[in-house]
Amino acid sequence: MFDTIVIATDGSESVRRAVSVALDLAERFDATVHALYVVDEGEVESSPEQVREEMRAALDDSGQAALEDVESAADRPVRTAARQGRPATEIREYATEHGADMVAMGTRGRHGENRFLIGSVAERVVRTCPVPVLTVRQLDEAERDDADGVGDAAASA
């Protein structure tokens, strides 16, 4: 069902659960995993000209770390890629170019924006991507505690 899964990551805390869920699906379906990081050129261009190169370098470093996080969490090889541009556009194009069967991503990004239910990048990808998009929201602390308790109870049963 899923042969190729693209995980869109920005390295934020909120994407970690999406990575975990996507890697679990990849294992279940023996799918090829791609991890994609996009440097938001709009963010770079809207910054003061004097700091743009520093900002781009910092974002590149963050991207490399985010991709390495996905690789280290996986039990299989991960194809990694970093791109520059508009995140939603780049994610959609990458998924199309690589014949993805699914894109997985968090619902809130690095800036923690909560545009109603999901972040603006996730919303655009959901609306425009030609393949299914799995959005995974980060659990708040109370939900994590409840999930941990369920897992502990199931493990002891």
- Reply yes or no on whether the pLDDT at 37 is more than 80: yes
Report yes or no: 23 and 134 within 8 Å, Cβ to Cβ: no
The amino acid sitting at 98 is: H
pLDDT number for residue 151: 44
Rounded Cα gap, residues 131 and 133, in angstroms: 6
Rounded Cα gap, residues 32 and 94, in angstroms: 14
Instruction: For residue range 121-146, list pLDDT tens digits in order.
Output: 999 999 999 999 999 987 555 555 55
- Per-domain boundaries in the chain: 4-156
Check: CATH 3.40.50.150 for 4-156?
no
Instruction: For residue range 79-103, list pLDDT tens digits in order.
Output: 999 999 999 999 999 999 999 999 9
